[in-house]
Amino acid sequence: MAQIRQDDSFPQSQAAALSEPVNAAVPDILKRFPGRRVGMSRRGLLRSLLSSAIAIFGVLTIVFFAIMLTGNPALLLASPSATHEELEALTRLYGFDRSLPEQYVTFIWNIISGNYPRSLRLNASPLEQIIPAIPYTLSLAFSAGFIAISMGLVVGYLSVFSRHKLLREVPLNVLAVFQATPVFVIGLFLVLIFSIRLGWLPTGGSGSVKSLILPSFSLALMFAARIAQVFRASLHQVASAEHVRAARTRQISRQEIRLRHIVVNALLPVLSVLGLEIGSLLGGSVITESLFSRPGIGSVLLVAIDNKDYPVIIAAVVLISVIFIIINTLVDMVSALVDPRTEASL
Partner 1 sequence: MTTKALRNFAISAGTGRQRKSMWRRRTNLRLVVGAALLAGTSIMTLGAPFFAPYSPDFYDLDAILMPPGPAHLFGTDEIGRDVLSRVIWGGRPILFIVFFSTILSLLIGVTLGFMSSANNLANTALSRLADIQLSIPSLVFALLAIAVAGSQMSNLVVVLALAAWPLHFRVVRAHALAVKKLPYFEASRLAGSSLFYRVMRNYLPGVLPLLAVTTSVTATVTALSATGLSYLGLGVSVPDWGRMIAISKGQLSDAAWASGFPALALILFLLGIQLIADALSDRVRGRGGAPHERR
Partner 2 sequence: MNAGNVLLEVEHLLVRTGCDDTSAVLASNVSFKLHHGRIHGLVGESGSGKTMIANAVAGLLPEGVQASGRILLQGTNLLALPEGAARQIRNAHIGYIFQNPKAALNPRLTIGYQLREALVPEVRRDEAASLKRVLSLLDEVGIPNAYARLTAYPHELSGGLAQRVVIAMALARDPQILIADEPTTALDMTIQAQILDLIDNIQTQRHFGVLLITHDMGIIHDRADDITVLSGGQIVESGLRRTIFEAPRAIETRNLIEGALLDESLPATDDASPAGSCIYSVRNLKKSFVTQSNHRSTLHALDDVCLDLCQGRSLGIVGESGSGKTTLARILLGLEIPDSGQILYKGDDIARLSRQSRRGWRRSIQFVFQDHWASLNPYQTIFESISEPLRAEGLGREERARRVLEVMQDVSLPQHLAARRPGELSGGQLQRAAIARALVVRPQILIADEPVASLDVTVQARILRLLEHLKAEFGINYIIISHDLRIVKRISQDVIVMKDGVIVERGTTRDIFSKPQHAYTQKLLAATPGGMRS
The contact set with partner 2 (CB under 8 A) reads: 2, 4-6, 8, 10-11, 14-15, 18-20, 22, 25, 29-37, 43, 241-243, 245-252, 260-261, 264-265, 338-341, 344
Work out what residue 284 binds among partner 2, partner 1, none; the CB cut-off runs from 5 to 8 Å by kind: partner 1
Choice between 232 and 294, CB closer to partner 2: 232
CA 147 to chain centre: 14
Question: Rule CB under 8 A: is residue 198 a binding residue for partner 1?
Answer: no
Closest CA to 319 of 67, 85, 56, 40: 56
Choice between 92 and 341, CB closer to partner 2: 341
Q: How far is the CB of 296 from partner 1 (least distance, A)?
A: 13
- The answer to whether the beta carbons of residues 269 and 234 sit under 8 Å apart is yes
Work out what residue 24 binds among partner 1, partner 2, none; the CB cut-off runs from 5 to 8 Å by kind: none
Choice between 22 and 344, CB closer to partner 1: 344
Question: Rule CB under 8 A: is residue 180 a binding residue for partner 1?
Answer: yes
Residue 310 CA to residue 301 CA, distance in Å, equals: 10
Q: How far is the CB of 152 from partner 1 (least distance, A)?
A: 16
DSSP helix/strand/coil, 308: coil
Number of residues that bind partner 1 (CB under 8 A): 52
Q: How many Cβ atoms from other residues are within 10 Å of residue 306's Cβ? A: 8
Work out what residue 6 binds among partner 2, partner 1, none; the CB cut-off runs from 5 to 8 Å by kind: partner 2
Residues 6+ apart with CB under 8 A from 189: none
- The answer to whether the beta carbons of residues 179 and 280 sit under 8 Å apart is no
Q: At what angle do helices 42-69 and 310-338 cross, to 10 degrees?
A: 160
- Please provide the distance, in angstroms rounded to a whole number, between the alpha carbons at the two ends of the chain: 16
Give the single-character DSSP code of 269: H
Residue 243 CA to residue 233 CA, distance in Å, equals: 18
Work out what residue 2 binds among partner 2, partner 1, none; the CB cut-off runs from 5 to 8 Å by kind: partner 2
- The answer to whether the beta carbons of residues 284 and 183 sit under 8 Å apart is yes
Task: State how far the alpha carbon of 43 is from the alpha carbons of 49, 50, 53, 114, in Å.
Answer: 10, 10, 15, 30
Q: How far is the CB of 47 from partner 1 (least distance, A)?
A: 13
Question: Rule CB under 8 A: is residue 279 a binding residue for partner 1?
Answer: yes
Residue 331 CA to residue 337 CA, distance in Å, equals: 10
Question: Rule CB under 8 A: is residue 233 a binding residue for partner 1?
Answer: yes
Q: How far is the CB of 159 from partner 2 (least distance, A)?
A: 17
Choice between 8 and 306, CB closer to partner 2: 8
Work out what residue 164 binds among partner 2, partner 1, none; the CB cut-off runs from 5 to 8 Å by kind: none
Q: How far is the CB of 222 from partner 1 (least distance, A)?
A: 9
Work out what residue 49 binds among partner 1, partner 2, none; the CB cut-off runs from 5 to 8 Å by kind: none
Work out what residue 22 binds among partner 1, partner 2, none; the CB cut-off runs from 5 to 8 Å by kind: partner 2
Would the CA dihedral through 51, 57, 61, 63 be positive or negative? positive
Residues 6+ apart with CB under 8 A from 144: 215, 216, 217, 219, 220, 281, 285, 288
Residue 188 CA to residue 199 CA, distance in Å, equals: 14
Choice between 29 and 196, CB closer to partner 1: 196
Residue 322 CA to residue 289 CA, distance in Å, equals: 19
Question: Rule CB under 8 A: is residue 308 a binding residue for partner 1?
Answer: yes
Q: Interface residues for partner 1 in 107-146 (CB under 8 A)?
A: none
Question: Rule CB under 8 A: is residue 295 a binding residue for partner 1?
Answer: no
For binding to partner 1 (CB under 8 A), which residues are involved?
Answer: 51, 54-56, 58-59, 61-63, 66-67, 69-70, 76, 176-177, 179-185, 188, 191-192, 196-197, 233, 276, 279-284, 286-287, 290, 301-302, 304-305, 308, 310, 313, 317, 320-321, 324-325, 328
